[in-house]
């Protein structure tokens, strides 16, 4: 691999609607290793890109169950098994009193775990991303189409022409160092 091999191509769109239309065309043309870099999430773009719903809520569910199990185990271990004490003749396993901590532990595990998993998933569950040094205005006001060179259909000239035909502005190839050229 040469130090400045081509990493992919960028093309700018200026409105969410344009990005939505382009996403369907990119997908219909058979590209798979593509992404949109946007300053804010666009409603419906994941469907247009052919993505399924995020699996994050399932992870939350598992974490929530873990939180419930942990809180119940801890409280019952302490109050029933390890240090049983008599409070006004009430049962040791007084489950209603364990509800608040169980709820809090559920929320704690589910919320913190979900955020962590979502950040990691956003890093992992992606196509090859452009080099971090390739500034592209996608955190400001551009909706940047990115087609990675790892796409099986990849051909630099053809990809550039295709992105231009979509109506993208400022189409440029990106090399692995983050440099761009039209």
Partner 1 sequence: MTKLETSPYATVMDDSQLTGRPIVVPGAGPYGGDLEIAEPLVTGGKTWAQVDRDICLHAEEFPTRKWWLAFGVALAFLSLLVFALITLFYVGMGVAGVNQPVGWGSFIINFVFWIGIGHAGTLISAVLYLFRQQWRTGINRAAEAMTLFAVVCAGIFPVIHLGRAWFAYWLIPYPNARGPLWVNFNSPLAWDIFAISTYGLVSLTFWYLGLLPDLATVRDRATHPWRKALYNAMCFGWNGSHRAWRHYESAYMVLAALATPLVFSVHTIVSFDFATSVIPGWHTTIFPPYFVIGAIFSGFAMVITLMTFMRGYFGLKNYVTLNHMEDMAKVLMFTGMLVGFAYSTEFFMAWYSGNAWEGFIFKNRAFGPYWWAYTIMFTCNAIIPQLFWFKPLRRNTWVLFAVSILVNVGMWFERYVIVVTSLHRDFLPSSWGMYALTFWDYAILLGSFGLFFTLFLLFVRFLPVVAISEVKGVMDPKVARAGRDRPPIVPALQEVRS
Residues of span 108-127 touching partner 1 by CB under 8 A: 108, 110-112, 114-115, 117-119, 121-123, 125-127
Q: Are strands 143-148 and 6-13 parallel, antiparallel or unpaired?
A: antiparallel
- Contact residue for partner 1 among 29, 62, 73, 139 (CB under 8 A): 139
List binders of partner 1 among 148-167 (CB under 8 A): none
CB of 94 to partner 1, least distance (A): 6
Q: Return the number of the residue (97 or 156) whose C-beta is nearest partner 1.
A: 97
- Contact residue for partner 1 among 16, 26, 162, 166 (CB under 8 A): 16
Q: Return the number of the residue (60 or 160) whose C-beta is nearest partner 1.
A: 60
The answer to whether the CB of 127 falls within 8 A of the CB of 27 is no
Assess 49 for contact with partner 1 (CB under 8 A): yes
Assess 168 for contact with partner 1 (CB under 8 A): no
Cα–Cα distance measured from residue 163 to residue 13, given in angstroms and rounded to the nearest whole number: 10
- DSSP letter at 128 equals P
- Contact residue for partner 1 among 41, 89, 157, 182 (CB under 8 A): 41
Total number of residues binding partner 1 (CB under 8 A)?
71
- Write the binding mask 64 to 83 for partner 1: x where contact by CB under 8 A, - elsewhere: ----------xx--xx--xx
Q: Return the number of the residue (47 or 155) whose C-beta is nearest partner 1.
A: 47
Burial of 171 per CB tally in 10 Å (0-12, 13-18, 19+): buried
The answer to whether the CB of 174 falls within 8 A of the CB of 180 is yes
The answer to whether the CB of 148 falls within 8 A of the CB of 7 is yes
Which residue matches tokens 């769109």? 13
The answer to whether the CB of 103 falls within 8 A of the CB of 95 is no
**3-class SS of residue 6:** strand
């Amino acid at each position: 691999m040469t130090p400045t091999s081509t990493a992919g191509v960028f093309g700018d769109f200026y409105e969410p609607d344009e990005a939505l239309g382009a996403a369907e065309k990119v997908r219909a043309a058979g590209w798979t290793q593509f992404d949109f870099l946007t300053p804010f999430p666009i409603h419906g773009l994941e469907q247009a890109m052919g993505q399924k719903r995020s699996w994050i809520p399932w992870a939350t569910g598992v974490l929530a169950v873990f939180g419930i199990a942990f809180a119940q185990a801890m409280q019952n271990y302490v109050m029933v098994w390890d240090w049983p004490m008599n409070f006004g003749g009430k049962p040791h396993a007084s489950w209603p009193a364990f509800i608040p901590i169980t709820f809090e532990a559920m929320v704690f595990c589910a919320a913190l775990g979900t955020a962590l998993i979502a950040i990691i998933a956003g890093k992992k569950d992606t196509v090859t991303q452009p080099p971090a040094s390739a500034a592209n205005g996608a955190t400001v006001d551009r909706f940047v189409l990115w087609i990675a060179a790892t796409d099986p259909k990849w051909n630099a000239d053809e990809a550039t022409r295709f992105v231009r035909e979509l109506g993208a502005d400022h189409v440029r190839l990106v090399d692995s160092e983050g440099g761009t050229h039209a």
